[in-house]
Amino acid sequence: MSNNRRLASSLNTLKQVNFDLFQRDFLLTWEKEYEDIWSILKVAEILKDIYETNRGLRIFQSGLGISWFRDNSTRTRMSFSSACALLGLSHQEMEEKKLQLYHGETVRETVNMISFLTQAIGIRDDMYMGKGNKFMRDVASALDEGFKEGVISQRPAIINLQCDLDHPTQTMADLLHIKNYFGNLEKLRGKKIVMSWAYSSSYGKPMSVPQGIITLMSRFGMDVVLCCPKDYKPHDDILDKAQKFSLISGGTFHITDNMKKAFKDADIVYPKSWAPYRIMTERTRLLDSGNQEGLVELEKECLEQNACYKDWVCNGNLMSRTKDGKALYMHCLPADIQDVNCKEGEVTKEVFEQYRIETYKEAGYKPFIIAAMILLCTQKDSIAVIEEKLKEF
Amino acid sequence: MSNNRRLASSLNTLKQVNFDLFQRDFLLTWEKEYEDIWSILKVAEILKDIYETNRGLRIFQSGLGISWFRDNSTRTRMSFSSACALLGLSHQEMEEKKLQLYHGETVRETVNMISFLTQAIGIRDDMYMGKGNKFMRDVASALDEGFKEGVISQRPAIINLQCDLDHPTQTMADLLHIKNYFGNLEKLRGKKIVMSWAYSSSYGKPMSVPQGIITLMSRFGMDVVLCCPKDYKPHDDILDKAQKFSLISGGTFHITDNMKKAFKDADIVYPKSWAPYRIMTERTRLLDSGNQEGLVELEKECLEQNACYKDWVCNGNLMSRTKDGKALYMHCLPADIQDVNCKEGEVTKEVFEQYRIETYKEAGYKPFIIAAMILLCTQKDSIAVIEEKLKEF
Amino acid sequence: MSNNRRLASSLNTLKQVNFDLFQRDFLLTWEKEYEDIWSILKVAEILKDIYETNRGLRIFQSGLGISWFRDNSTRTRMSFSSACALLGLSHQEMEEKKLQLYHGETVRETVNMISFLTQAIGIRDDMYMGKGNKFMRDVASALDEGFKEGVISQRPAIINLQCDLDHPTQTMADLLHIKNYFGNLEKLRGKKIVMSWAYSSSYGKPMSVPQGIITLMSRFGMDVVLCCPKDYKPHDDILDKAQKFSLISGGTFHITDNMKKAFKDADIVYPKSWAPYRIMTERTRLLDSGNQEGLVELEKECLEQNACYKDWVCNGNLMSRTKDGKALYMHCLPADIQDVNCKEGEVTKEVFEQYRIETYKEAGYKPFIIAAMILLCTQKDSIAVIEEKLKEF
């Protein structure tokens, strides 16, 4: 009952909001309006609420949700599969023997061939700087053509499951987590969030999370701090976006290379490793030209560079400097945890253990974020669709 | 409304037709009566119609649709998966580590073990001349025994997703495509269709499509021309069938090795590479005896033979000779397109581009053909089942 | 009608029974009460009955069933997938590139990450003596924590799809098979069942089936005989359990190393190969320490030891000694059949052929046993859930 009233009230609020997601893809949060972001968060919560009272929202009578992972994944694969199950789609995986679909002709054909009864395509393509998001747009334009020409009778929505630029399903799950942790979106205003680089002995972690976090959190009036060694700074385009969003939302955006200072009075810290833009770009070039020697050399160089910053570790000392010594620690998982899965890494065992359950909860929003994106991007009148389904219970 | 009326009218027509598909498999079109073929086309269209008005036809409350690919496939796998989703079946793939299931005992057991809740098994086994269709029949007889002995409580329908002899889901999608392209089945009468060999630098493409096309199209009163170098002719058995069907349907069937003459005044052309029967048979023998050296030798020999016919390319010149210079170009995809995915191949870039969207549409009928086969082969009174479902909307 | 009456009567009987499976896992039959075992058998039969009248029991609106095979499997994978389809769960497979999930931290995290919308997790982990069942308990405790801490909103049930100790879905399917073969559970009382070792030229077959059979059948008043060469005896703990259960149920339990004597007057024989406990334990130790040489040596040793018992074959001679010469032959499949898939093996071609269909039927209960376990372990009031669903028909 009270659950139903809560749902009704959420749906009514949603009706007041001018979102515009139907027949669009979800590729980058910074391309979306505030209302779009807000509505996805809201619908994700509605779906979680419905699921937790042991119900589904099988809005699709039939059809496929296809996941296309051009990089390994267990967790996001399961999240996507869960979202499909929730909405009534059959999940099917694209399997590429070799990553070779780059030239336009083949993409165009393949994409149409797999989309005759497809409602959503989730893509991860995060290995190649300058190419992952581009690939998604090639898929999108193939779908546009196929839909326009009557090849496919519905336009599947593309969901970015991580590219070279952004990781929207992750960062929006992160956002939902802190919204609920602190109470509501308003409460995030003025909160200090530190997106910090941290040491890892591994090589080539994508930049999508830090880029996604600074550009998304800056839209909610937060005091966003990006903290990293100079060489690890994202591209200026991204920094400009974070700056601009902060201005609009009434927050702030700062960059520093001093972890100790950054953590001072922070409400939220997100310490995580990533590779320098220069390295990622160079790696893409070497991969493209098949230069194996160059790649070995580059990896060595990158690891040596990383090793200059072995003290960039989120430990108890740093945490004690945060607001009341108890900032919320966040991570997209899996983390490099010292003395657990590595010798030296992003976070100490003690700090991670203290926030472990919170990081699990953080991840738990992802299936619902994905489902909300699919629902809002494929349904003309999504609110009516939800209301109709709720009547069945 | 008008959509519902169209559906009702289609169903009424269907009721007049004496098809006999229940508890049968779909292995070869030439084993089926005209009424069977006709009904599958009709039901495929009904299913497409229902799907396109955003509805499914979940006739199965539960159960599996199993795809068993003994050769790589992305497209047909997705088509089969789509058909399963449409009808409410969960799609599961058989995975063979090694292709080793040939001896009868193992087939018999495995087939029963995977069929306890299975409604349809789609099989692709197109690599071994003289063995692929045979394998499907071994599966069929294992299912027959299991069903008769009460091991399985329903007899799953086997759908041939391409074998050494035929490719019925492809050719029937092709047929539906030209039916709709030209208006209706009657309009195909007297149309000239040229199934032509074309050059490819690859080796060992199955003969199933040309064999399937000449034996199927000859049943609809068309003027069927098979055009290929002498060494590439299908087995006489197949040619005899095409001849016989033409006679019955009031069409014609001719064979030529002159592409230029063949294209003259053609309404439809289907230029595609395949391997000679002799090579395919020899390859099977060598694979069976594990003769690696022989296989290398054979591949070399085949490619040399192919290379004699590099000028067998569907180009603008040839196309200009067709009826009004605008015959419909068909292909089962992927095609070897010159300057796109090969240097020399089946078709020029210009010709392919002109018909690219049409080839996509051609492929788009396949999921519905598969679904229609599953429905008609597993349901005692399929029309009643569809009518019952339509009432729910 | 009569079918519905039968179902109603079964459900009424079930209501009298005090089973306790909700929010538990199914890991070992010997941890479960008699009422639990009995209820699973009953519900499995109810589900089979419902399925065979062409209906499903989609009790789940949405959600995943995850199978996690840490050893190859086609049959059990299909059984699990079928059970999921029957109940309305989407089946998703965990894929481990390498078997590396042993340390506690990683298990804990991964398990939560895959469980946000998961209702059941089927696990096979039968390779490592002393570790497989332990792994399932690590998964269980990770789920317990996640559920308690609000990370996941439902506690998925773990179904043991074979571990180092037991193979409950197999042995309970076996039990359902003999129940129906002989008429009812009461009729099993006093029946002599021989779980016998038999020769195989392969190495390292798990002990889970013989261990599972002697501990389960001894609970139903049967005269259970374990027959094997001395070196192949299970651990004393297991033998003690079988002894204790026999005492309680009014059956008997004997051990012998004489196959001829064992088969005398047997009602049921279950001849099957397995590896000695000592070898399995040693193998685990060597695998753990990565001792490749030791493993090669051990395999050699094991095969030599096996070879001492090449005459342990279930043949016509032995079968003629059984009750009226027609004991029921059982096997979990695939069997090593002489002159079929091996030169020397567990059973002769003639004996196997005579009982082949029965072994298929035996296997046919497995999907329904799995579905019954999922249903009873996840639903608070499973009987009401079934009754509610039956009303829909």
Residues B196 and B127 in one domain: no
For residue B99, pLDDT beyond 60: no
Could you tell me the CA-to-CA distances from A308 to A201, A303, A317 in Å, in that order?
11, 9, 20
* CA dihedral of residues C37, C41, C47, C53 (deg, nearest 10): -170
- The overall average pLDDT reported for chain A is 94
pLDDT of residue A389: 87
pLDDT band at C377 (very low <50, low <70, confident <90, very high): very high
Residue B17 lies in a domain: yes
pLDDT of residue A104: 61
Mutate which of A71, A360, A368, A392 to test chain C, going by most C C-beta atoms within 10 A?
A: A360
Residue C201 lies in a domain: yes
Given an 8 Å threshold on Cβ–Cβ distance, is B85 in contact with A63? yes
Q: For the segment B12-42, what is each residue's pLDDT rounded down to a tens digit?
A: 999 999 999 999 999 999 999 999 999 999 9
Nearest to A277 by CA among A70, A124, A167, A129: A129
Query: What is the distance of C-alpha B368 from the center of its chain?
Result: 13
Residues A146 and A278 in one domain: no
The domain that holds B253 is classified in CATH as 3.40.50.1370
Q: Which domain holds residue C11?
A: 2-164+366-392
Task: Sort C183 into a burial class: Cβ within 10 Å, 0-12 / 13-18 / 19+.
Answer: exposed
Q: Which long-range contacts (CB under 8 A, 24 or more apart) does B230-238 make?
A: B230/B257, B231/B276, B231/B278, B231/B305, B232/B197, B232/B274, B232/B275, B232/B276, B232/B277, B233/B277, B234/B207, B234/B210, B234/B277, B235/B277, B238/B165, B238/B211, B238/B214
Residues C109 and C15 in one domain: yes
Tell how many helices (H) and how many strands (E) occur in chain B: 16, 9
- Residue C294 and residue C273: Cα distance in Å, rounded? 23
3-class secondary-structure state, position B308:
coil
Position with higher pLDDT, A165 vs C98? A165
3-class secondary-structure state, position A274:
coil
Residues of B in contact with C74 (CB under 8 A): 94-95, 110, 113-114
- The overall average pLDDT reported for chain B is 94
pLDDT cut 90: percent of chain A above it? 83
Helices (H), B250-393: 259-263, 277-288, 292-307, 316-320, 349-364, 366-378, 382-391
Residues of C in contact with B60 (CB under 8 A): 56
Sheet of strand B192-197, all strands in order from the earlier edge strand to the far edge: B252-256, B223-227, B192-197, B268-272, B328-329
Residue C356 lies in a domain: no
Mean pLDDT calculated for residue range A306-328: 97
Highest-scoring range by mean pLDDT, B96-105, B285-294, C266-275? C266-275
Rounded to the nearest angstrom, the minimum Cα separation between C56 and chain B is 5
Provide the strand spans (E) within B51-89.
Answer: 64-69
Highest-scoring range by mean pLDDT, A46-60, B238-252, C289-303? B238-252
Angle, nearest 10°, between helix axes A168-182 and A208-217?
50
* CA dihedral of residues A279, A280, A286, A292 (deg, nearest 10): 80
C117-135: b or e for each residue (b if 16 or more CB lie within 10 Å)? bbbbbbbbbbbbbebbbeb
pLDDT band at A3 (very low <50, low <70, confident <90, very high): confident
pLDDT band at B106 (very low <50, low <70, confident <90, very high): confident
pLDDT band at C97 (very low <50, low <70, confident <90, very high): low
pLDDT band at A73 (very low <50, low <70, confident <90, very high): confident
3-class secondary-structure state, position B347:
strand
Residue A358 lies in a domain: no
pLDDT band at A97 (very low <50, low <70, confident <90, very high): low
Residues B143 and B226 in one domain: no
Residue A361 lies in a domain: no
Mutate which of C82, C87, C333, C369 to test chain B, going by most B C-beta atoms within 10 A?
A: C82
Residues B159 and B181 in one domain: no
The structure's pTM equals 0.96
| Run of H or E including A270 | strand A268-272
Rounded to the nearest angstrom, the minimum Cα separation between A343 and chain B is 37
Residues B7 and B149 in one domain: yes
Residues of C in contact with A52 (CB under 8 A): 153
| Phi and psi torsions of A265, nearest 5° | 65, 20
Residues A242 and A146 in one domain: no
Mean pLDDT calculated for residue range A336-348: 94
Q: For the segment C137-185, what is each residue's pLDDT rounded down to a tens digit?
A: 999 999 999 999 999 999 999 999 999 999 999 999 999 999 999 999 9
Residue C354 lies in a domain: no
For residue C62, pLDDT beyond 80: yes
- The overall average pLDDT reported for chain C is 94
pLDDT of residue C95: 78
Sheet of strand C64-69, all strands in order from the earlier edge strand to the far edge: C90-93, C64-69, C118-125, C157-163
Q: For the segment C10-24, what is each residue's pLDDT rounded down to a tens digit?
A: 999 999 999 999 999
pLDDT of residue C290: 87
Mean pLDDT calculated for residue range C379-388: 94
Helices (H), B189-251: 208-217, 236-249
Residue C360 lies in a domain: no
ipTM associated with this complex: 0.95
pLDDT of residue B322: 98
For residue C104, pLDDT beyond 80: no
Mutate which of C180, C336, C360 to test chain B, going by most B C-beta atoms within 10 A?
A: C360
pLDDT of residue B97: 61
CB B333 within 8 A of CB A109: yes
For residue B290, pLDDT beyond 90: no
Given an 8 Å threshold on Cβ–Cβ distance, is C152 in contact with A334? no
Q: Which chains touch B (3 or more CB pairs under 8 A)?
A: A, C
Given an 8 Å threshold on Cβ–Cβ distance, is B154 in contact with C54? yes
Min mean pLDDT across B260-274, C210-224, C270-284 is at C270-284
pLDDT of residue A277: 92
For residue B377, pLDDT beyond 70: yes
Residues B158 and B174 in one domain: no
| Phi and psi torsions of A241, nearest 5° | -60, -45
pLDDT of residue C360: 98
- Residue B152 and residue A56: Cα distance in Å, rounded? 31
Min mean pLDDT across B86-100, B204-218, B367-381 is at B86-100
Mean pLDDT calculated for residue range A376-380: 97
Which among B51, B85, B334 has CB closest to A90? B85
For residue A257, pLDDT beyond 90: yes
Could you tell me the CA-to-CA distances from B372 to B37, B39, B375, C8, C148 in Å, in that order?
11, 9, 5, 36, 48
Residues C326 and C198 in one domain: yes
Given an 8 Å threshold on Cβ–Cβ distance, is B91 in contact with A95? no
Given an 8 Å threshold on Cβ–Cβ distance, is B114 in contact with C364? no
Residues A212 and A285 in one domain: yes
For residue C305, pLDDT beyond 70: yes
Domain count, chain C: 2
Mutate which of A82, A352, A365 to test chain C, going by most C C-beta atoms within 10 A?
A: A82
pLDDT of residue A72: 75
pLDDT cut 70: percent of chain A above it? 97
Angle, nearest 10°, between helix axes C382-392 and C2-15?
160
Among chain B, residues having any CB pair with chain C shorter than 8 Å are 60-64, 66, 89-90, 92, 94-95, 97, 103, 105-106, 109-110, 112-114, 116-118, 145-146, 149-154
| Phi and psi torsions of B18, nearest 5° | -95, 75
pLDDT cut 70: percent of chain C above it? 97
Q: For the segment C234-243, what is each residue's pLDDT rounded down to a tens digit?
A: 999 999 999 9
Residue B355 lies in a domain: no
Rounded to the nearest angstrom, the minimum Cα separation between C250 and chain B is 33
Given an 8 Å threshold on Cβ–Cβ distance, is A112 in contact with B360? yes
For residue B98, pLDDT beyond 60: no
Residues of B in contact with C52 (CB under 8 A): 153
pLDDT of residue C6: 87
Which among B62, B92, B116 has CB closest to C364? B116
Which among A62, A110, A154 has CB closest to B86? A62
Residue B294: CB atoms within 10 Å: 15
| Phi and psi torsions of B282, nearest 5° | -65, -40
CB B311 within 8 A of CB B199: yes
CB A222 within 8 A of CB A216: no
pLDDT of residue B392: 81
Rounded to the nearest angstrom, the minimum Cα separation between C323 and chain B is 25
Residues C180 and C311 in one domain: yes
Q: For the segment B47-94, what is each residue's pLDDT rounded down to a tens digit?
A: 999 998 877 788 998 899 999 998 778 889 999 999 999 999 999 999
Residues A25 and A95 in one domain: yes
Q: Which chains touch A (3 or more CB pairs under 8 A)?
A: B, C
pLDDT of residue B104: 61
- Residue C200 and residue C341: Cα distance in Å, rounded? 11
By C-alpha distance, the chain A residue nearest B92 is A92
Min mean pLDDT across A43-57, B188-202, C205-219 is at A43-57
- Residue C264 and residue C242: Cα distance in Å, rounded? 21
For residue A103, pLDDT beyond 60: no
Nearest to C71 by CA among C107, C8, C124, C139: C124
Most distant pair of Cα atoms in chain C: their distance: 65
CB B63 within 8 A of CB C85: yes
